[in-house]
Amino acid sequence: MKRGQIYFHLHLVSDSTGETLLTVGRAAAARYENIAPIEHVYPLVRSPRHLDRVIADIEAAPGIVLYTLIDREIADRLETACREANVPCVNVLDPVVDLMRSYLNLPATGKAGAQHALDADYFKRIDALNFSLMHDDGQLPENIEDADIVLVGISRTSKTPTSIYLANRGVRTTNLPLVPGIPVPDRLLKAERPLVVGLIASPERIMHIRQNRLLSINAADQDTPYVDKTAIAQEIAYSRRLCGEHGWPMIDVTRRSIEETAAAILALWDQHRYGVGSTRPGFV
């Protein structure tokens, strides 16, 4: 625990996986400085017996309760227990569902975990994930034309985690490392279908990440061009020139999270697919 930080118990009760509650809870908690939730996640709560255990935990460690429960009887029991324990409790989806019901004039389906159904979108995400793992870090460059997006950049520009995140959105992504003096695959230069995006970062950020990488693997040689700021600056300059020559848009990831980088890439991909605006070279 960090010194000076205030902690509170956050109970997340779901009849599905709890991913929605985790996202909402963390997004809300991030609005407060020096505040951090102690997360208690209860997935697949679909029976009174399971709910009894959840209520016992809430009473033992009072805090805030967020829930998504389709079964009205179980939800009412949870709300009653929270009221009696003087614990704040809210169904995070009800306001949105009610708004949609009012606008669409249609009843909502009462199916827990409906967003996780094994439908075509689900299998599309699995296919994209398999593709991205098989084509990580320059593997199988002959399949570039089968990708939706190709990420290029020097070492430690978050190419792999960004590829995995995009794959979870159903986007087939491959990534290729850029190394000065080593030509990029000819297939990349001739690729027509995929969107090619260059990822760059400041020399200071790259140097810091690479130093930590060497420390994590207990590398004996810490005095190497891999972590030399001047050498890194030259690598970044090479990336800029290459992307500029081929009209590939660039994204500076220095102060971006993986999610923010992926959002910018998906916006460029929409332009690439549908021709909305243009994918001119430059920074996003």
Q: How far apart are CA 69 and CA 138, in angstroms?
A: 44
Assign a CATH topology to domain 6-115.
Rossmann fold (3.40.50)
Is 132 annotated for ligand binding?
no
Is 14 annotated for ligand binding?
no
62 pLDDT more than 80:
yes
Q: Binning pLDDT at 50, 70 and 90, where does residue 2 land?
A: low
- Architecture in CATH of 120-274: 3-Layer(aba) Sandwich (3.40)
Is 154 annotated for ligand binding?
yes
Is 111 annotated for ligand binding?
no
Is 282 annotated for ligand binding?
no
- The segment with the largest mean pLDDT, out of 105-114, 119-128, 210-219, 224-233, is 224-233
Q: How far apart are CA 159 and CA 71, in angstroms?
A: 42
Is 158 annotated for ligand binding?
yes
Residue of higher predicted confidence among 124 and 157? 157
Residue range(s) of every CATH 3.40.50.2300 domain in the chain: 6-115
Is 2 annotated for ligand binding?
no
